[in-house]
């Protein structure tokens, strides 16, 4: 935790600079406020940046390195669950993959219910979980990018 306050301040300052710059450049194009009357767009842009940065899923650069994938961002983390799998379009059952993919499927994400590396059938009402683990993330990286630190870190 030593040094975190300075790093958090640097991240907040950078986010603020980005929000202000975007607000200055694009604020006049955005309807801000409940009545759409305009105003300073910085707060709305700041909120939007937080939503994207805390929910984006990293993938291959050729398909866009950060993507918002509807529904997947609602799946909670568990260190023993399966990971998100990004398809290449070359997956085949006969090669041991879990589906036959086509070229058009490349870049799509798949999440299967797994626990400790094995398939796990879900019961009605049971939550689907995913292992968000990014091996090179430090606890500070976790906090700045997702807003929390998983217990196993």
Query: What are the tens digits of pLDDT across the range 15-71?
Result: 899 999 998 898 888 766 666 566 678 888 888 888 887 788 778 888 877 788 878
Task: Please state at what angle helix 4-26 crosses helix 139-146, rounded to 10 degrees.
Answer: 30
Averaged pLDDT for residues 10-15: 90
**Token digits for 119?**
């398939």
In the predicted structure, residue 133 carries a pLDDT above the cut 70: yes
Predicted TM-score of the model (pTM): 0.65
Nearest to 85 by CA among 113, 64, 50: 113
In the predicted structure, residue 9 carries a pLDDT above the cut 70: yes
Q: What are phi and psi of 15, to 5 degrees?
A: -60, -40
Query: Distance between CA 16 and CA 124 in Å, rounded?
Result: 43
Q: Which residue has the tokens 């630190």?
A: 149
């Amino acid at each position: 935790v030593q040094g975190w306050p300075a790093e958090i301040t640097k991240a907040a300052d950078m986010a603020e600079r980005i929000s202000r710059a975007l607000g200055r450049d694009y604020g006049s194009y955005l309807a801000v406020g409940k009545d759409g009357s305009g105003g300073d767009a910085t707060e709305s842009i700041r909120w939007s940046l937080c939503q994207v940065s805390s929910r984006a899923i990293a993938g291959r650069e050729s398909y866009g390195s950060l993507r918002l994938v509807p529904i997947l961002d609602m799946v909670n983390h568990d260190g023993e669950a399966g990971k998100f799998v990004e398809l290449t379009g070359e997956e085949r059952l006969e090669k041991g993959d879990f589906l036959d993919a086509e070229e058009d499927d490349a870049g799509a994400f798949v999440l299967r219910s797994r626990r400790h590396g094995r398939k796990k059938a879900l019961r009605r009402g049971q939550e689907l979980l995913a292992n968000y683990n990014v091996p090179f993330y430090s606890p500070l990286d976790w906090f700045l990018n997702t807003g929390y630190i998983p217990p196993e870190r």
